[in-house]
Chain A
Amino acid sequence: MSHDILDICIAAALVIGGLFTLVGSIGLLKLQAPMARLHAPTKASTLGVGSILLASVLFAYASGAPSYHELLIIAFLFMTAPVSASFIGKVHIHLGQNRKPLPKPARDRIWATEAKREEDTPDVLEMKADA
């Protein structure tokens, strides 16, 4: 009985994972603006892969050889997805691919990516000092 429920959970996690991965790629292909395209794969795919990894953990438990190291990949993907998304967004800004101009920063002069090389490189130490 409980085995059936576990099977249904595994199947549900697999189907949800597959669907979200697919949605991520469809979004990557369908959306028009470069910045809008960034949204679909970074998050939908991450959640999809997370769900598939969860299915793998459940499956290992159901087949009698419990294993939980997939949790490491889930944690790793969820921690690195924002970093790579931010980097790709910076690339878009740097190449001037956004259609709308950026808003002015609230209290500062410019955004960090707009800084020219040496003269106005953002000063991280200064930020630390006024924290």
Chain B
Amino acid sequence: MATRFMQRLFPHPLLSVALVVIWQLLVNEPSINSLIFGAMLGVLLPFTTAAYWPNRPQVTRPWKLIPYGLIVAWDIITANVTVAMIVLFKPNRDIRSTWVNIPLDIRTPEAITALAGTITLTPGTVSVDLSDHGHALLVHALHAEDPEKVARKIKSRYERRLKEIFE
């Protein structure tokens, strides 16, 4: 009974937390008033709009998002330097752009979205398209001698971790 009630009141717990944090940042002055008003928004907005998003996204192990975020942030910084070098100093005819085809093991839309976002943010690769039933991801690599190697790296470095987080 109590858990049902809590579920009615907080249909999307992560959304509630995000709303409180965003309100704090927007007000930009830490005070007890803004915290209370943020908490009110965090309860009211998900409650009143619950009918529009009936599915609750599954995040099985949310705490693993933190090490994942750190890994991605590190990759963004290091790989951005590599791409900057390619852009500035490699003549155009030496750049080997190629398509990479990544078969997916993860199945939930949230996990695939997170993987596609990660691939785009880590420089050198942009995720462009999904196959018609969502079993493969089309990725464009700026400079890769061997597409297979890129696909293997993405699968082992990111997809495996996302599978643990979301499924």
Contacts and interface: CB of A to CB of B under 8 A. Distances in A.
Interface of A: 19-20, 23, 26-27, 30-33, 35-36, 38-40, 42-44, 46-47, 67-69, 71-72, 78-79, 81-83, 85-86, 89-90, 92-93, 98, 100, 102-113, 115, 120, 122-124, 126-128, 130-131
A23 B127 CA distance: 21
Contacts of A112: 129-132
Interface centre among B22, B92, B132, by most chain A C-beta atoms within 10 angstroms, is B132
Given A23-B88, A33-B97, A111-B132, A85 B120 contact: yes
Contacts of A38: 126, 140
A85 B126 contact: yes
Interface of A is mostly: helix
B131 A67 contact: no
Given A86-B128, A98-B99, 17 more contacts: A39-B126, A44-B84, A47-B80, A71-B25, A79-B117, A89-B140, A92-B128, A93-B129, A105-B135, A105-B136, A106-B104, A107-B133, A109-B133, A113-B129, A122-B130, A122-B132, A122-B134
| Overall SS of chain B's interface | mixed
A26 B77 CA distance: 19
A122 to B, nearest CB: 4
Interface of B: 22, 25-26, 28, 55, 76-77, 80, 83-84, 87-88, 92, 95, 97-104, 107-109, 116-117, 119-121, 123-124, 126-136, 138, 140, 142
Contacts of A108: 131-136
A100 B77 CA distance: 30
Contacts of A23: 84, 87-88
A30 B109 CA distance: 36
B36 to A, nearest CB: 19
